Chains A and B, each alone.
Chain A
C-alpha cells in the first residue's frame, strides 16, 4: 500500500522555483526522510502534502486523498508538526492537549502521550514558561494527538538535548510500530540514518538522491549529503 504519492510536483513563488518536478512515493508504515539544506524545497513540499499550498503542477495523493479537494478528510488522518509554530503564551500544556484532542473523533490518550514525551509534570505549566525542548515535545504531541495514519514531522528534534532526542526517536519508532507512516524533515544525518527506511535528498527544488540511507552512504550519509548539496564538493 502506498501512503503518499507525489508525481511531478512543481511550485514557484514569483520567479523563484521552490520545487521543480519532484516525484516520490512513501509506503504505508515507512519512515521517509526529506533532507536538504535551507531553501532546498523541503518545507514547500511538506506544505503541499499538508494542503497548505496549491502546487503549480503535479499530482499528490496522501492516504489516497487529494490534499486540496479532500482537505476535510485529510485533516482527520494526517498529523502535522510545523516548524516555528507556537501556541498562545498563557495556554497550559494540558489545555493545549485537551483542545487539540477535541478536534478529532478518536484522539489518543492525553495522559499517555504526555508521559511518553516526558511532559506529565508540565501539565499546568503555561506555554511561555516551557523551555525550547519542552515546546518542541509539546508540538510533537499535538501532531500525534489525533492518532493520525500519516504524520509529517518538520525538524522534529531541533532544539532538543541529546537525551530528549533519543526519547523522540524512541517515540517515532513506537508510533511506526503502530503502523503510522512518517515523513521526517530533518537536518540531522545521524537521525535520518537511524530512523528512516528511505531518504530523499533535495537540492535546488529537485531530488538529488533517493534511497535507503545505507545505500546512499558514501561512506556516511552526511558525506553523501555534503557531496550532493554542498557548493563545493571537497
Chain B
C-alpha cells in the first residue's frame, strides 16, 4: 500500500520537474520572478480548497459546490470588510471560514442524514450558493480600494519574523497559511481517530458500519471540512485578487479542485490518497498553468488538458485498484 502511494507522489514530482525543465529550455522567461510569484500565489487557493475535498473523495463522495462555497464566502468576507472595516481582517476571515463550514454542513446534512446522493445535493447547492452570492452582493463587485490593505498584504508580504532570512522572506503569508493547512490536514488524516475513520469508511463502507464507526457523522464532517476549505480559499481569493466579482469568483473552480485531488492520488474508489500527493498535484497544476501561458499556448487549452489528465488519473486509479484486489486474492 505504502509503495503504491509513494509511486503516485514520485510520478507527480517527476512530472513537475519535467514540465519545469521543458518550459525553461523552451522559454527561459519561465523562471522569472513574476512567474514564480504567480505560481506561488495561485497554488495556495487551490491547495486549501483541495484539502477538504480530499476527505470527501476518500469517503467516495464528491462536492461540486466547492467553487460556489468559495464564491459566497469570499464575497461575504469582502462585503463585510468594505462595510465594517472595524471587524479587522482576522475577524472577517473567521466569519468567512465559519460561513464555509455552515454551507458545508448543509451539504453534509443532506448527504449523511437525508441520504441525498452527493452529486445531486452538491449540484443543487452549487446553484443555490451561486444565487446567494448574487443576492448578498446585489450583483455588484467589491473593488480593491474598498478592502483594507492588511488583507492584500497577505499576498504580498511574508511573516515579519522571516524578514531577515534570505529567500524565505520573499514568500508571502498565503503560502505559509496553505503550508500550515496542508500540514494540519496531513496530521489530522494520519494520526487522529477521525482521519482513520475516514479511510476506513472509504475503504469499505459496510465493514466500517459493522466496526461501529459513526458512518453518518464521519460523512457529515467530511463535507464540513470541504466547506471550511472552500471558505478559507474564498478569503485567500479576496486577498490575492482584491477585486471580488459575484459572477467571477470561484466559477468553475470545482473542476480544478476535483482534478487536483484525483490527480493527487485520491482514488474515486475511496480509501486511498492523502495530503502530500494532493499538495504536489496542486503545485503541478500551478506549474502547468504558468507553463501554458509562457509557452504561448492559448489558455483556451486549459480546460481540455484538465479534463484529459483527470480522465487519465481515473483510469490509472482503476488499474491500481484492480491489481491491488488481485494481489489480495479477491475476485476482480
Question: Do A and B truly interact?
Answer: no
Residues of A within 8 A of B (CB): none
